Amino acid sequence: MIYEVEVNGRLRRVELKREGTGYRVAVDGRAQHVDARRQGGIWSLLVSDADEAAAGTSRTQHSYEIAIAEEPSGGLAVQINGRVVRASVASARGSWARRSGYDTAAGGTGPYRILAPMPGKVVKLLVAPGDRVDAGHGVIVVEAMKMENELRTVRAGTVQAVRVTQGSSVEAGAVLVIIE
C-alpha cells in the first residue's frame, strides 16, 4: 500500500508491506522493518533497518509510542514519544479518529472525547472529573477480546466528565471520557 503523507510541509512517499511478523515501511525509498502493536489508541513500534532484519542481524532498534488523532481541519495530530507532529495523508482509508479511539477535536482546542475503539468492558477508571492530565496519560482501561487496552489522552487538559462506570459494558464509538 502506498501513501503520500505531508509532514511539516514536506511531501513524503510511504510504502507499507506486510513482512513476516511485522511490516516493511519505506519512506522516500529508505526501508525499515517495523514491529507494531496497538493497545487502545496507542501504537508501540519497534523499528530496525530492513536489510538487517531480513538477514537476522538487527543491531540497532528504536522504540516509539505513537497516538494519532484527526483534527477538525481533516489533518492528523501524530504524537510520537510525547512530541506532536502535524500531518495529512492523501490516500488514507476511512477515519483515523474511529480507528484510534479519539474524536475529531483531539488535535485542536476545546473539549474532546475519548471513544471506545471496540465493544468491551470497562476494567478500570484511571481518572475522575477535575483531574489534570498530561499528553499520553492513561485515562481508562477497556477489556475487549480478552485483552486490556489502556486508552490515553493525546494532549494535556482537565477531565471534564467520565461517562462510564467500572464494570460497565460499552459499544464501539461510545463516549468514555471528555477532556477539556
Residue boundaries of the structural domains of the chain: 2-179
pLDDT in tens, 121-170: 999 999 999 999 988 788 998 887 777 878 888 778 899 999 999 999 98
Sort strands 76-80 and 61-70 into parallel, antiparallel or unpaired.
antiparallel
At 159, give phi and psi (nearest 5°).
Answer: -70, 115
CA angle 10, 12, 14 (to 5 degrees): 160
Residue 19, burial from CB neighbour count under 10 angstroms (0-12, 13-18, 19+): middle
- The DSSP code sequence of 97-162 is HHHHTB-TTTTSSS-EEEE-SSSEEEEEE---TT-EE-TT-EEEEEEETTEEEEEE-SS-EEEEEE
CATH topology (fold) of 2-179: OB fold (Dihydrolipoamide Acetyltransferase, E2P) (2.40.50)
Grid look-up 480507528 returns 99
Kindly report the length of the chain.
180
Tell me the three state secondary structure of residue 28: coil
pLDDT in tens, 9-24: 788 888 888 887 788 8
Instruction: Please state the pTM of the whole predicted model.
Output: 0.46
**What confidence category does residue 102 fall into, taking pLDDT thresholds of 50, 70 and 90?**
very low
Report the range out of 87-96, 114-123, 129-138 with the highest average pLDDT. Answer: 129-138
